[in-house]
């Protein structure tokens, strides 16, 4: 089965019903393990002390916030170009989740920044571009709600989503393009000690599985809601 076959709502509902228990189980297992190691296995950092533990909440949230927007962008592109029935539903369903994880990253980042930088917020390139990501999510959701016709709303929101994709490379490369207070990437460069790396990887996996499970639930809910509306108004449809 390829990804385009999942554009069939009936097929997606059947497959997601089988996948959801596995995603929930994986999310619970990885998050529970990651949180246990975070609070009971990770030693204080020699510079940051116990505040380093915020990293295990902040970094995965930032990762999923960006990942969700990437998912939204791909789904929006498929909706515009290929007119797949579930593409717009998938993009719309990802937006509130992405906004939630992005907000969590902003909040935890501010809490981490206070002891490290002496302030909750600076107009740093990484922080500013990530804040713009949050506003893009809000704008996308507002646009969906502002237009009554679902087809027109989907197209307008998809265009906004695709324009906003340019912010993702800006977020990633901001620490290289400008002088920033925010540190650069440390996982793939080997700058992070294994005692911090493995709990962080578990938390990142847990966040991804949690997003996947919630995303499938939201898509399923949207499909069923559209079917109910269609039955009431037309007697059929998605």
pLDDT digits (tens, 9 = 90+) for 76-103: 999 888 877 789 999 999 999 999 999 9
Burial class (CB in 10 A: 0-12, 13-18, 19+), 76: buried
Q: How many CA atoms lie within 13 A of 42 on its CB side?
A: 29
Q: What percent of the chain has pLDDT over 70?
A: 87
Name the helix (H) or strand (E) containing 224. helix 194-233
Q: Per-residue pLDDT tens for 170-199?
A: 988 877 776 665 666 566 555 677 788 888
Q: What percent of the chain has pLDDT over 90?
A: 49
Q: Per-residue pLDDT tens for 50-72?
A: 788 888 999 999 999 999 999 99
Over residues 20-46, the mean pLDDT reads 90
More confident residue, 183 or 3: 183
Show contacts of 229-233: CB within 8 Å, 24+ apart.
none
Residue 2 has pLDDT above 70, yes or no: no
Please state, in angstroms and rounded to a whole number, the distance separating the CA atoms of residues 75 and 90: 6
pLDDT at 127: 87
Q: What is this structure's pTM? A: 0.88
Residue 142 has pLDDT above 80, yes or no: yes
Distances, alpha carbon 102 to alpha carbons 3, 37, 53, 129, 165, in Å: 27, 24, 18, 12, 15
Residue 25 has pLDDT above 80, yes or no: yes
Residue 213 has pLDDT above 90, yes or no: yes
More confident residue, 145 or 47: 145
What is the Cα 137 distance to its own chain's centre?
Answer: 10
Handedness of CA 106, 97, 171, 159 (dihedral sign): negative
pLDDT at 183: 63
Handedness of CA 94, 96, 101, 103 (dihedral sign): positive
pLDDT band for 225, please (50, 70, 90 cuts). Answer: confident
pLDDT at 178: 67
Residue 238 has pLDDT above 90, yes or no: no
**Rounded to 5°, angle at Cα 60 from 205 and 92:** 90
Residue 69 near residue 98, CB atoms below 8 Å = yes
């Amino acid at each position: 089965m390829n990804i385009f076959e999942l554009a069939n709502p009936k097929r997606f509902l059947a497959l997601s019903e089988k996948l959801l228990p596995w995603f929930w189980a994986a999310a619970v297992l990885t998050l529970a393990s990651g949180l246990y190691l975070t609070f009971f296995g990770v030693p204080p950092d020699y510079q940051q002390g116990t505040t380093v533990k915020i990293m295990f909440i902040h970094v995965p949230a930032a990762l999923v916030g960006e990942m969700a927007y990437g998912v939204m962008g791909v789904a929006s592109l498929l909706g515009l170009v290929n007119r797949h029935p579930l593409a717009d539903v998938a993009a719309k369903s990802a937006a509130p989740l992405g906004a939630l994880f992005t907000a969590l990253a902003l909040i935890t980042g501010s809490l981490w920044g206070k002891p490290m930088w002496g302030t909750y917020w600076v107009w740093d390139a990484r922080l500013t571009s990530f804040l713009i990501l949050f506003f893009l999510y809000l704008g996308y959701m507002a646009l969906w709600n502002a237009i009554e016709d679902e087809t027109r709303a989907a197209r307008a929101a998809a265009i906004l989503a695709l324009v906003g994709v340019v912010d993702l490379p800006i977020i990633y490369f901001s620490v290289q393009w400008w002088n920033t207070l925010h540190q650069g990437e440390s996982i793939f460069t080997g700058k992070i000690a294994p005692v911090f790396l493995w709990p962080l990887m578990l938390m990142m996996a847990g966040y991804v599985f949690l997003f996947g499970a919630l995303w499938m639930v939201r898509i399923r809910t949207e499909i069923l809601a559209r079917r109910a509306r269609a039955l009431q108004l037309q007697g059929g449809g998605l």
